[in-house]
Structure 1
Amino acid sequence: MVSATSNGLHNGSPDTVRFVESTYDSQDSQQSATRLILAVRPEWASPDSKIEFVRFTDGITNTLLKAVNKKDGWSEEKMCSEAILLRAYGAGTAVLIDREREVQNHALLTKYGLAPELIARFNNGMLYRYIKGRVTTPDDLRKPSIYRAVAKRLAQWHATVPCIPSSTSPVTNGVSRQDTIGGDSNEDRDGDDAGRQLDLATQALIDNTAPGKLAPNLWTVMRKWILALPTATPEQRARQTRLQEELDSLVRQLSQRPGLGANGLVFAHCDLLCGNVIVTPTHPGDQAADGDNAPSVSFIDYEYATPSPAAFDLANHFAEWGGFECDHSMLPTRSQRRDFIQHYIESYYNLLPGEVKVDRKDEVSKLMTEVDLFRGIPGFYWGIWALIQAVISDIDFDYASYAETRLAEYWAWKAEDNGSRVASGQELPLRERRWSQDE
Structure 2
Amino acid sequence: MIMAGPANLLSRLNSGSGNGSSRREWLLGEAYVALHTLAGSWADVLDAKNLVLKPLKGAMTNHVYECHWPQEAPPHGGVRRVLVRIYGDGCDLFFRREDEICTFERMSQLGQGPRLLARFSNGRVEEFLNARTLAAADLRNVTISSRIAMKLREFHNLDMRWPQAPKLWDRIQFWVNKALEICPSSWHEEFQLDNIKKELTQIQAWFSKFKGIVGFCHNDLQYGNIMMNETTEDVTIIDYEYASYNPIAFDIANHFCEMTADYHSETPHKLDNSKYPDYQERFQFIEAYMMSSSALSISTLRVEELLEEVESYSLMSHLHWALWGILSATFSDIDFDYLEYARQRFQSYFNVKSSLIQIDGCT
Q: Normalising by structure 2, report the TM-score.
A: 0.82
Q: Deviation digits for residues 151-190 of structure 1, max 9, x if unmatched?
A: 111011012334614xxxxxxxxxxxxxxxxxxxxxxxxx
Residue 406 (1) aligns with residue 345 (2): yes
Residue 384 of structure 1: CA displacement?
A: 0.5
SS across alignment from 1:348: coil
**Alpha carbons of 1:88 and 1:216: their partners in 2 closer, same or farther (altered >3 Å)?**
farther
State the distance in 2 between where 1:27 and 1:162 align. 35
Q: Deviation digits for residues 249-303 of structure 1, max 9, x if unmatched?
A: 22111257314xxxx21000000111111121323xxxxxxxxxxx322111100
Residue 37 of structure 1: CA displacement?
A: 0.9
Matches within 5 A, 1:249-398: 249-255=202-208, 257-259=210-212, 264-283=213-232, 295-323=233-261, 324-349=269-294, 360-398=299-337
Residue 243 (1) aligns with residue 196 (2): yes
Residue 221 (1) aligns with residue 171 (2): yes
CA RMSD of aligned residues (A): 2.7
Q: Deviation digits for residues 361-404 of structure 1, max 9, x if unmatched?
A: 44322211111211221110000111100101112221111111
Counterpart amino acid of residue 300 in structure 1: I
Residue 246 of structure 1: CA displacement?
A: 3.3
Residue 25 of structure 1: CA displacement?
A: 5.0
1:123 to 106, 121, 124: 121
1:231 to 156, 164, 181: 181
SS across alignment from 1:388: helix
Counterpart amino acid of residue 307 in structure 2: M
Contact 1:140–1:146 (Cα < 8 Å) also in 2:
yes
Which residue in 2 is equivalent to 1:86?
84
**Alpha carbons of 1:378 and 1:74: their partners in 2 closer, same or farther (altered >3 Å)?**
farther
1:135 to 133, 136, 159: 133
Contact 2:31–2:123 (Cα < 8 Å) also in 1:
no
State the distance in 1 between where 2:38 and 2:53 align. 16
**Alpha carbons of 1:74 and 1:33: their partners in 2 closer, same or farther (altered >3 Å)?**
farther
**Alpha carbons of 1:122 and 1:142: their partners in 2 closer, same or farther (altered >3 Å)?**
same
Residue 30 of structure 1: CA displacement?
A: 6.1
Contact 1:151–1:343 (Cα < 8 Å) also in 2:
yes
Q: Deviation digits for residues 72-98 of structure 1, max 9, x if unmatched?
A: 33578632xx42211111111211121
SS across alignment from 2:292: helix
**Alpha carbons of 1:273 and 1:38: their partners in 2 closer, same or farther (altered >3 Å)?**
same
2:143 to 142, 145, 166: 145
Residue 44 of structure 1: CA displacement?
A: 5.7
Matched length = 327
Q: Give me the identity figure in percent.
A: 28
Structure 2 unaligned segments of length 5 or more: list them.
1-21, 262-268
